[in-house]
Every structure is written in structure tokens, then in C-alpha cells.
Structure 1
Amino acid sequence: MKFNSMVDLRADATVFNPNDLIHLLGYYSPGDGGGGDFYWDAASTENDNGGSIIKRTSVATGRFKAILNDVINVKRFGARGTIDDDDTLAIANALAACVAMNILTLYIPQGEYVTTQNIVLTQNHQILKGESRGGSIIKLKSGARVGTGNTQYAQLLSFKIDAVEGEGCVNGLLVDSSPLTLVEDVYVTGYYTECGIRVGANSYSTRFVRCFTNNIYTGDGWWLRNEGNNSIQLQSCYALNTKTGCGISISQANNVVIDAPQLEANKEGHIQFYAATNVPGAIRSLVINDLYAEQSCSPNKPTFTIKHESGVMNIRGLYVNGGYVNGFSMPYFADFSGIISGSGTAGISCHNVNIQNITTAGYNIDASVRGYITGPAPLTDLTDCCPLVVTLPGNAGNVAVVRNRSIGIAESMQPLLLGPYNPILAQAGALWYDATQDNLRFKDAKGDYILGARSLYIPPVIGTLPDLSKIKQDYFIPLNATNAAITIPLPAASSVPAGLTITIKKIDASANPVTITSASLMDGAGSRTLSAQYETLTVMSDGSSIYRVVSAVNANSNVFSNTSIAKTAITNTYLNTNYPAATYPAGTLVVFTNLSDAAANTAECRRLSATAWSVNATAAKL
């Protein structure tokens, strides 16, 4: 026998034999998805639950019971799935029937289901499953949420959660005290007082796969803030368009892995490290792989932020490995000074921070906040809390990144400061990249110094020359004279430590020369000229009055050791016989050393043409 609706079935007075079967065509009308098969239990007096146990109005004893197999469809309990209807009771009855009948799966077909009560899985291995992430939509009102509580191995699969504005919803999805939960293909949007998705206490080994927060109008996107957030995995999950908060807020994380996240347009930054008196920050091994992040929707907000309201924050083991970031920056983890306006710094510690293989399309500058790491690609192996960069107001220069201990400075060193050098602002122990002078300075208790090639590679200089007056280490200067000839004066040899070398190289192919001048003569000469591309001059100070020329060669230079010939014997004829000029590029310099002459033991020879050499008869003794 067939019935068109549940109303028709309840009104029927036909006498049925035990186990007789009937077919319901629809809950409200044929084809609405709420129909199914029933059998007649002639002895039952159970209460009508709206879906799986049906009492006929005129029959006191006997109930129709649904044949459900392993799945309960909320439409079989009267859920309509339209935005204009309240499906709270239908969904609650369906969920209760799952528990009573030990049926694991509650199914929500395509539609928009309004509920004012929580939909919470409380049975081990229980499943809440939608038809698709965009097709099955749960509309939350009156503070309702979706999630789990005190269960294990629960699954939340393939649906969307949308909290209505002004309804006081705290979270969209909460996994609470539910270890080993799987959340897959879930999309959360709407208005929340806390966040869209929250991992609650003691929900270890929970895994999120392809889950989204998008258009979170109030609150944050995700929270990992409770004790027991151990071995949490986020795989290909997104935090997008968080209008007033951050993308992911983390306080508690032990062995947490976030793989291939996508973070975009989160107003207060993408990933936030949070601590308060009742929410201690304890991050132990947080790994983020293949990060993709576009700039936050609030100008200059960094990729990573610190929100330390009070209490203790301990970050021990943060690893960010690979990805793309448009607008990369993160907190300076060594002292946390001034991270958030009004925030305290006591009780914060951080160790073992590693950022590597990040490709960026730019970096953020926040002039009002100190303490951020910023920098363009590539940032590699910035270990032990060492990417120490603070961008100061007014700086439009390049960002420099220095590895910790690359110049023997202690791990607790201050940030690398970027901007026009200001000796008043620079504190003892500070590194400062001076964009105006294009050099790196270090200040200690005795003064401030320009650091050389052992600590920083200075980019090719065009126009503005570096100030060499305070160098204390070997210095390498590549010069580009494409626009005009360059003259670079050396400081007095007496102001430079004995044994220190200065190397100057012409890197362009133009005809404009690079001229090095010095009042402290360079092997007797007051100036030396680099005229060909890749020509290089290296001089060494005696610490007193002169510079010794260590080498003066070009890219095609050769050095020969020959103790069997006197310098006077090295002539154009000798050279063309033994070293045919045609076999060497134009401009090649050959230096003969260890000659038999006691008074002059070097000779410099330059190729002038395909058939001729020029012999430097006044080559200095080394």
C-alpha cells in the first residue's frame, strides 16, 4: 500500500497484519525526499518520533517503523531544507533516532536547513554527512553550532555552515573533547563571537581536509587555543576573507602540521600566536608546509602576528617550509618588544624558529609597530630566531636578511634595522642596514662600524658610493659605471686596521672607467684605474701610511710562476713565442712571479692586439 504523505499515513485506519509493508511517497507530498518504506509493528506502543516511529491517530497499539538500513535522512523526519522553514525539530529528532537505533550516519541532502539547536555528534564513529560542501547548508540561529562532544572517531563531511547575523553564534563548527575526528570538505561562513572553526580541548589527532572559512564577518577564522591540541592536521585548508579578525589563531599546538594552507584577505593577519591569562601560549612543534598567502585586507598586517594580552607564551619549534607569500612578514621572535600596542612582554620565550624556501611578491611595512621580520625572496634557513629585520618609517630601500651568528654576534642580538642610519636610535648591539649609504653597520659600546664582505654582500653600487671611513673588516665593492665614470676614494691607511683588504671590481661593460684614488699611496701610485669589465683591484692597508697592491687583474688574468728567467728577458718577442697573443682575449693580464731577479720579482704584461703584448717594466715588488 502507498501513502502520499505523513498526514495521510497517520490518518489511515486500515487494519494491518504484523510486518505488513507500506511505502510513503513523501513526507509532505510525493517526491519531496521524505518518503520511504515502513513495516507494521502490531504490538508497539512507543512514542511517535516524527520519522522512524509513526503512530496512527485512531490506533492505540501498533506503530509503523521505518526501514532505514545504516543511514537516516533528515528529510524522513520532516526537514524541508528551505530557507523559510525551521528544521530544528526535524534534525534533532533524526539525530536522536540515530543514537537510539545505533545508526551511525545522519544524512543532510541538498538544501538550506535552519536550526536553533546544536547539531552535535556524541557517539563513537558517528557521521554527519551532507551531499556536498556547497549544496547542503546548515543555517545557524539562536547560538546554535555544529560539531562533536565527548566522542571518538567521529566524521563531519561535505556540508556548509552559515551563522545568521545577530544570532549570537559562538562557533560554527566545534570539535570538543573528541580525539581522532575527521572533518572533510566543510565550509564555514557567517557571524561568530569567537570563530568559524574551533578545535576544543583534548581533541588530539583530529584531521581537517579541504575545509574552508570564508567571509567570516565577525570573529576569527580558526582557533587552536585549547589544551590537548596535539597531533592536529590541517590539509589543504583555507582561511579567507576574515573581515574583522585573523585567519588562524593558535595558543596551544603540540606536533601540529598545517599542509598547503591558503590564506587571503584576513584583516588582522593570517596566522596569530595568542596568549592571555586564562589562555597560555604553548606551541611545541608547529610545522607549516607549502604556505600560500596573499596580503591581508588591512594594509601592512603581517602574515604572522603576535597577540599577547597577558600570561605566558612559549614558542618552541616553529617551522615554515616552502610556499608563496605576497606580503611576507612575521614577528621578531627574539624579544617581542612592541609587538602589539599595549601588550606586555614578560613571560614570553621563543626558540627554534626556521623559515625557508619562501617565494614572495613583496613585503609589508608597519611603521607603527616594532618587531617584525620582513623580507623578499628567498628567505632561506633563518634558524634559531635569526631573521631579525625591523623596517623603519621612511625607508624605501631593499631589505637585507642576515643569518644569526654570521658575524659572530650572540643569539640574543637585536633586530636588523632598515632605513637611513640614525646613530641616536641605534642601540649597542644593533645591526642597521643603511639604505642611503648601502651598507651594514654594527654598533657596540665603543662606536658604530661598517661591516664588510665577511658579513654582508653589498649590492652593485650605481651613483651613491659607500662610506669607507669606518670599515673594520675586509670589504668587497662591485661598481657599475654604466651611467657615468666613477671615482672612489680610499680612506687613509692609518684609519684602517693593518692587514685589512679592500677589493673593488668594475662589473659593467661600458667604456666608463672606475678610478680608485688614495692619499695613502697604493704601491707608490695615488690612483689606479679599472677600464675593462671585471677588472679588479685588491689593496691591503699597512695600518700606517700606505696600501700594498695585492692583485690587479681582470676576468681573463693568468699568473705564472717561473724562477728560471730574469725580468729583463720578458719582452714582447719572448711573450709571443711562448704565449702567443692571439690565443688570449683582448685585455688579458699575465703576471709573472718568482723571477730570478732579486730586486724586482714580478712582471705584468697585457695583451694589446692579436700580435702584441705590453710589458710593464715598473711592476712593483710584492
Structure 2
Amino acid sequence: MTANSIYQLVNNIDPSVNGFVNVLGFYNPGDHGGGDFFWDSTANEDVDGGTIIKSAFPGVTIGRWKRRYTGELNVKWFGAKSDGSNDSVYFQNAIKTGLNIFIPEGKYAVSGLVLQGNQAFFGESTLSELQAVETDKPILTMGEFSRVKELSFYSATYVADPNFCAIKVNNHGYSVIIENLRITGGFTNAVNCIDSNNVSIFNCFISGMVESQIVISKGTHNVIENNTMEKCGGTSFIRLINAATVIIKNNYIGGSDTDRPSAQGIYAESNDPDYHFAVLIIDSNDIDNIGGQAVAVVGYYSVRIKSNWFSAGRTVGVSSVYLNGCARIDFTGNDIYTSGYMGLQMADCEVGSITNNQIEQCKDTGIFMLRCKEFCIQSNQIGSLTPKDPNGGCDMKVGLSENQGDYNIISSNIFKGNTSTNLYYEGANNVINNNISM
């Protein structure tokens, strides 16, 4: 037997006569909410509106209509309309089953969705769009071992509310995967992780946001990889506060149309004794054409910054990379081009290496080190290596300035065409040799 809708199944079909029914749609035939149902005459479990449905046929007091299906659930089965009306209750009914949820192509108005643990939530590429209907809560909150992918998140309203983000990873979220998303519009943050571990955010496109686009506060072993981020309205694209062991790799950050030209690419700060041994790895990123610092790191125990392209810090008086109070630093193979102040600015850092970097076209100093000790600064090319104008003008005043530092080795660097001096150093027990000035 067939029924045109779930309403007809519930109200007009006598299950004692017709125990198997093909329903053509949830509201109307062809709306993708239908399916095959069978009658379980002894069932009495809670209904969910999509896979388990109670009959309202006169005289029926026990039993349930049950959907035949394999694999993930479809939100259309639960009544989601994708017509601009609020679909949150239908989504949440699907989520309560604890099973994986598929969102077909369409635009769904939702807010306040909460994934259960071990649950996947995915769409039909980014053509499946979740649009915020409330601006004081996340669209989606994720828990342990949950996963979201192939979706768009959008807010037409720009609101600075700490609870208003596209995705929030709840306290103690563990092994969460966020992938292949498009997050645009006026959320406060695209992704906000609080005290969460093993969160992976990759292959996402993020544009807009009122504050930082990705925020990680506390937690450990989190990865941000292969994302494209533009038009940041906050002070930084990525913000880390007491987050230990974070890997930021192969991301593109920036663009000339950034909403706040002075926004930093990555800001990381560790000041909590519980996170004293925080580790940060920034590898193979392109942070381009922004006015703020490409990277600013304060108080991290171990910092590796490797193989990045930084064309940032373009605002006058702003350095491209700033490190303060850090230790165990590996700054290798980076290309810093065009900074409004210093290429690499360091203060009160200890133990590490600065090797094989190319730093050019900075307004003031290529590498500036204040009260830094036990560093090997070797095999770097520093200076006006690629003049910006055809007459060969040079912006950089000092190639490398090492002030009040001890036990540093400055060796085998190439300095070219700096207007004040190529190398300035002071302090005790420093070794200076084999540097070349051109």
C-alpha cells in the first residue's frame, strides 16, 4: 500500500489491515521525506518522528510504525523543510537517535544543535547550508569522537556574542574532526574549542567573522591544516590561549580585502602553569597581504616555525613575526617579504636556531634580538634582496641586531645592501664569524 505523507500514514492507515506502507513523502510526494514502513504491533518505545512513529488511527493504543533503512539517517525523514522556516527541532530529533546524519542539498534555518558522541553530521558538498536563526548560541556543538563535513554555515547577521559561533567544541571534546566546510558571514567565531583535545580542522574555507576565526583555549594535540581564511574582522585569524601541542600547517591566511587590515595571522599565548610545556608548530603556511603580524607567540616553551611564506606586518611599526618569552625555538626555511617594521622580532627568548631564512624589504631590521641567549643564527639571507623599485632602493636599515644577548653564534649569513649597518651585536660570549656583506 502507498501513502502520500507521514500524516496520512499516522492518521488514515489501519496498521491491523496494512502492515507495510510505502510513504511517498513527509509532507508531499517527492519531498525526499518518505520511505518504506512496517508495523511492529508490540513496540512501545519513544517515537523520534522519522524512524519510529506512533499511529493515531482510531483504536490503536500500542505498536509503532518503523522505517526500513540502512546507513545514515536523512534529516528530510524527520520533517526538515529547507524553506526558510526553523528546522532546528527536526534536526535535533534526528540527532537524538545517536546515528549518523545526512543533510541533502538545501538551505536549512537552524541553531542550538548538539551532536552526541561518536556521531557524524555531513552534507551533500557545501550545497547543504545551515543558516543561523539565533545569535546567542552556536549552530552546532560537538562532543567526543564526533565529526562534521561537507557543509556550509552562514550567518546574515554580524553579532559579537561569545556564544555565537558556527561550531563549538564543548569542554573536554576529544577526537573531533571538522572538515570540508564553508563558513561565512557574521559569526563571532567560525570554530571555538574550549579545553578540547585531538581536534582536527582541515580543508575549510572561512570568510568573515566578527572576532578570531578559529579559537582554541586550553586542550592539547589539536591540528589546523589546509584551510583558506580571509576577511577577518577580529584581531587575529587564529587565536590560541594556553593551547598545548598545536600544529598549524599548509593554511592560506590573508588577502587584500581583509576586513580589519591590522589583523594578525596567528596569535598564541601560554601563561598558565598547567601548560608550561606548550608546544607550537607552524609549518608551510602562506600568510599574505595583511597589515598585522603574521605570527605572534608569547610564553610558549617550544616553538617551531618552518617553511612559511610571510608577506605580512605591512602596517608601519608592525613586525612580521614576533616572539616573546619563548624557548626551544626552531625558525627555519621561512621567507619574510615586506614588513612595516622588523622581519623577525624576538625578546627574552632562549635556546634555538634561526637558519636558512630569507628576509627582505623590511622597513627597519631584518632580525632583531633583545636579551636572547644560546641561539645559532646561521645561513640566512638578509637585506634588500629584491628591490621594490627599478632604481634598486633599499628599505631595510639593519640586517641583524643582537642586543644584550649571551652565548649566541652568528655565522655564515649573507647581508645585502642595508642602509645603516648589516650586523650590530653586543653582549658576552658571542661568536661572530664567516658572515658576508654585499
The residue correspondences of 1:404-443 to structure 2 (distance < 5 A) are 409-410=405-406, 436-438=419-421, 440-442=423-425
Answering whether residue 356 of structure 2 is matched by residue 364 of structure 1, we say no
- How far residue 358 of structure 1 moved from its aligned partner, in angstroms, is 1.8
User: Pick from 394, 397, 418: which aligns with 2:395?
Assistant: 397
The residue type equivalent to 2:360 in the other structure is P
Other structure's SS at 2:175 match: coil
Change (3 A) 1:282 1:156: farther
Q: What do you get for the CA RMSD once the two structures are aligned?
A: 3.9
- Distance in 2, Cα, partners of 1:172 & 1:279: 31
The residue correspondences of 1:135-146 to structure 2 (distance < 5 A) are 135-142=127-134, 143-146=137-140
- Distance in 2, Cα, partners of 1:248 & 1:384: 30
- Distance in 1, Cα, partners of 2:374 & 2:153: 41
- How far residue 281 of structure 1 moved from its aligned partner, in angstroms, is 7.2
User: Pick from 199, 219, 224: which aligns with 1:234?
Assistant: 224
- How far residue 240 of structure 1 moved from its aligned partner, in angstroms, is 1.9
Change (3 A) 1:271 1:411: farther
- Distance in 2, Cα, partners of 1:235 & 1:385: 29
The residue type equivalent to 2:68 in the other structure is I
The residue correspondences of 1:212-611 to structure 2 (distance < 5 A) are 212-216=205-209, 218-226=210-218, 228-229=219-220, 231-265=221-255, 267=260, 268-274=263-269, 282=276, 284-296=278-290, 299=291, 301-305=292-296, 314-327=299-312, 329-333=319-323, 336=324, 349-365=325-341, 375-376=359-360, 397-398=395-396, 400-402=398-400, 409-410=405-406, 436-438=419-421, 440-442=423-425, 454=433, 456-459=435-438
- How far residue 359 of structure 1 moved from its aligned partner, in angstroms, is 2.7
Contact 1:41–1:64 (CA<8 Å) still a contact in 2? Answer: yes
Contact 1:21–1:40 (CA<8 Å) still a contact in 2? Answer: yes
Change (3 A) 1:434 1:129: closer
Structure 2 match to 1:179: 174
- Distance in 1, Cα, partners of 2:119 & 2:89: 20
Contact 1:210–1:235 (CA<8 Å) still a contact in 2? Answer: yes
Structure 2 match to 1:50: 49
Change (3 A) 1:412 1:458: closer
Other structure's SS at 1:65 match: strand
Q: Which has the higher contact order (CA 8 A, sep 6+)?
A: 2
- How far residue 29 of structure 1 moved from its aligned partner, in angstroms, is 1.4
- Distance in 1, Cα, partners of 2:142 & 2:86: 22
- How far residue 261 of structure 1 moved from its aligned partner, in angstroms, is 1.3
Other structure's SS at 1:11 match: helix
Other structure's SS at 2:285 match: strand
- How far residue 175 of structure 1 moved from its aligned partner, in angstroms, is 2.0
- How far residue 86 of structure 1 moved from its aligned partner, in angstroms, is 0.9
Q: How many percent identity over aligned positions? A: 19
Change (3 A) 1:354 1:93: same
Other structure's SS at 1:257 match: strand
Structure 2 match to 1:131: 124
Structure 2 match to 1:111: 106
**Structure 2: any 5+ residue segments left out of the alignment?**
314-318, 348-353, 383-392, 410-415
User: Pick from 160, 185, 204: which aligns with 2:197?
Assistant: 204
- Distance in 2, Cα, partners of 1:2 & 1:317: 66
Structure 1 match to 2:11: 11
- How far residue 436 of structure 1 moved from its aligned partner, in angstroms, is 4.5
The residue correspondences of 1:68-83 to structure 2 (distance < 5 A) are 68-82=69-83
User: Pick from 109, 115, 124: which aligns with 1:121?
Assistant: 115
Other structure's SS at 1:9 match: helix
Structure 1 match to 2:389: none
**Structure 1: any 5+ residue segments left out of the alignment?**
307-312, 337-348, 390-394, 414-432, 446-452, 460-622
Other structure's SS at 2:89 match: helix
- How far residue 274 of structure 1 moved from its aligned partner, in angstroms, is 3.6
Change (3 A) 1:238 1:249: same
The residue type equivalent to 1:272 in the other structure is Y
- Distance in 2, Cα, partners of 1:130 & 1:50: 21
- How far residue 225 of structure 1 moved from its aligned partner, in angstroms, is 1.5
Structure with more strand by fraction: 2
- Distance in 1, Cα, partners of 2:132 & 2:14: 41
- Give aligned pairs, total: 384
Change (3 A) 1:2 1:184: same
Structure with larger Rg: 1
The residue type equivalent to 1:273 in the other structure is A
- How far residue 140 of structure 1 moved from its aligned partner, in angstroms, is 1.9
Contact 2:245–2:280 (CA<8 Å) still a contact in 1? Answer: yes
Q: Which moved more, 1:434-443 or 1:154-163?
A: 434-443
Change (3 A) 1:275 1:318: closer
Contact 1:251–1:282 (CA<8 Å) still a contact in 2? Answer: no
User: Pick from 173, 177, 184: which aligns with 1:189?
Assistant: 184
Contact 2:399–2:422 (CA<8 Å) still a contact in 1? Answer: no
- Distance in 1, Cα, partners of 2:421 & 2:299: 37
Structure 1 match to 2:350: none
Q: Deviations over 1:385-415 (max 9, x none)?
A: 788x9xxxxx96326544979xx951699xx
The residue type equivalent to 2:199 in the other structure is T
Contact 2:320–2:341 (CA<8 Å) still a contact in 1? Answer: no
Contact 1:274–1:281 (CA<8 Å) still a contact in 2? Answer: no
- Distance in 2, Cα, partners of 1:225 & 1:279: 14
Contact 1:352–1:384 (CA<8 Å) still a contact in 2? Answer: no
- Distance in 2, Cα, partners of 1:280 & 1:170: 28
- Distance in 2, Cα, partners of 1:332 & 1:74: 47
